[in-house]
């Protein structure tokens, strides 16, 4: 039940975050010269001890630092790193698929909040391992990387292992979305083995607010990529569990839910404290 309480906390949220998506933001750099870019290509060539920094001329303000890891799932290639956006750094884990990393889809997982680290999803829900004690993890056979290449991301900046050098923050989901869209493009542009692969955004709770904005940013960015003759990100689906898409409707439904589903009222209590 402890994990359910954690998830419950991660549903708490601020209505001020529920702002409308405005699609007119410049995501990409102004100019692009293909001659300046050499893809990194081979994830296996990454170091285990030092970060390799990946850049792209279309995103002069963005870089990706990545290194190999044997964290959490020794049966697959795993990586950790940061997306650097000027002085902001977003932390991610990447686990290749246990099935066929060369063919399986790519997905990104984000927990909600706002303010929840995706290590919550990693260790308690869909990740490749479970925490045993302070020093050990154990294999999780039902992990989503059983059949997909999965990225877990701590976002926005300030959450989990993500940090800012000078205390900068991202104050809107739309600003955060630009960073995610740039990351996704950098990833596919550098690791050609995944390029064109079906890509899925997934998450829960407040990610019901994040993911549509991320999808919109990736979609808009694809238009620009196509203009530059670059391969668009094959955004195929957005999967939202227990989504916190609309603050006001969610709260109203807290009243109806236990009335229609008495077994829920028994488990979670009745809405006696609510006025309506």
Ligand X SMILES: *[C@@H]1O[C@H](CO)[C@@H](O)[C@H](O)[C@H]1NC(C)=O
| Closest by Cα among 253, 240, 250 to 121 | 240
Q: Least separation, in Å, of the C-beta of 227 and ligand X?
A: 16
Q: Least separation, in Å, of the C-beta of 232 and ligand X?
A: 7
Q: Least separation, in Å, of the C-beta of 105 and ligand X?
A: 7
Measured from the CB atom, the residue of 18 and 239 that comes closer to ligand X is 239
Report 104-133 residues binding ligand X (CB under 6 A): 133
What's the CA dihedral at 12, 18, 21, 22 to 10 degrees? Answer: -140
Q: Least separation, in Å, of the C-beta of 148 and ligand X?
A: 12
Q: With binding defined as CB under 6 A, does residue 234 bind ligand X?
A: yes
d(CA 34, CA 50): 27
d(CA 80, CA 136): 18
Measured from the CB atom, the residue of 57 and 198 that comes closer to ligand X is 198
Q: With binding defined as CB under 6 A, does residue 236 bind ligand X?
A: yes
Strands 129-133 and 78-85, sheet pairing: unpaired
- Residue number, nearest CB to ligand X: 196
Q: Least separation, in Å, of the C-beta of 194 and ligand X?
A: 11
Helix/strand/coil for 23: coil
d(CA 32, CA 44): 28
What single DSSP character describes residue 10?
T
Number of residues in contact with ligand X, rule: CB under 6 A?
7
Q: Least separation, in Å, of the C-beta of 236 and ligand X?
A: 5
Measured from the CB atom, the residue of 66 and 107 that comes closer to ligand X is 107
If one counts every other C-beta atom within 10 angstroms of the C-beta of residue 172, the result is 15
Measured from the CB atom, the residue of 77 and 195 that comes closer to ligand X is 195
Helix/strand/coil for 226: helix
Measured from the CB atom, the residue of 62 and 185 that comes closer to ligand X is 185
Measured from the CB atom, the residue of 134 and 273 that comes closer to ligand X is 134
Of the residues 49, 50, 134, 275, which one makes contact with ligand X according to CB under 6 A: 134
Strands 88-95 and 106-110, sheet pairing: unpaired
* Number of Cα atoms under 13 Å in the Cβ half of residue 127: 27
Strands 106-110 and 199-204, sheet pairing: parallel
Of the residues 135, 142, 249, 263, which one makes contact with ligand X according to CB under 6 A: 135
Measured from the CB atom, the residue of 185 and 209 that comes closer to ligand X is 185
Interface residues with ligand X (CB under 6 A) are 133-135, 196, 198, 234, 236
């Amino acid at each position: 039940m402890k994990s359910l309480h954690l998830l419950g906390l991660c549903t708490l949220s601020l209505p001020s975050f529920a702002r409308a998506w405005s699609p007119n933001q410049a995501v990409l750099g102004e100019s692009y010269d293909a001659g300046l870019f050499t893809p990194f290509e081979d994830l296996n060539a990454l170091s285990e001890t030092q970060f390799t920094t990946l850049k792209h001329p279309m995103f002069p303000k963005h870089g990706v630092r990545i290194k190999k890891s044997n964290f959490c799932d020794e049966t697959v290639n795993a990586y950790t790193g940061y997306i650097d956006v000027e002085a902001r750094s977003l932390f991610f884990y990447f686990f290749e698929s246990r099935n066929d990393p060369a063919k399986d889809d790519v997905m990104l997982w984000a927990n909600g909040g706002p303010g929840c680290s995706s290590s919550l999803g990693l260790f308690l829900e869909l990740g490749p391992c479970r925490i045993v004690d302070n020093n050990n993890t154990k294999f999780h056979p039902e992990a989503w990387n059983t059949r997909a290449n999965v990225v877990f991301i701590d976002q926005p900046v300030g959450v989990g292992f993500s940090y800012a050098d000078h205390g900068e923050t991202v104050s809107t989901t739309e600003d955060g979305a630009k960073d995610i869209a740039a990351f996704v493009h950098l990833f596919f542009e550098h690791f050609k083995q995944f390029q064109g692969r079906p890509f899925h955004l997934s998450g829960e709770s407040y990610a019901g607010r994040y993911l549509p904005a991320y999808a919109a940013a990736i979609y808009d960015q694809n238009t620009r990529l196509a203009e530059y003759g670059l391969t668009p990100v094959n955004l195929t689906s957005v999967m939202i569990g227990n989504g916190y898409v609309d603050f006001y409707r969610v709260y109203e439904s807290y009243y109806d839910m236990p009335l229609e589903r008495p077994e829920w009222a028994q488990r979670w209590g009745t809405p006696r404290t609510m006025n309506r």
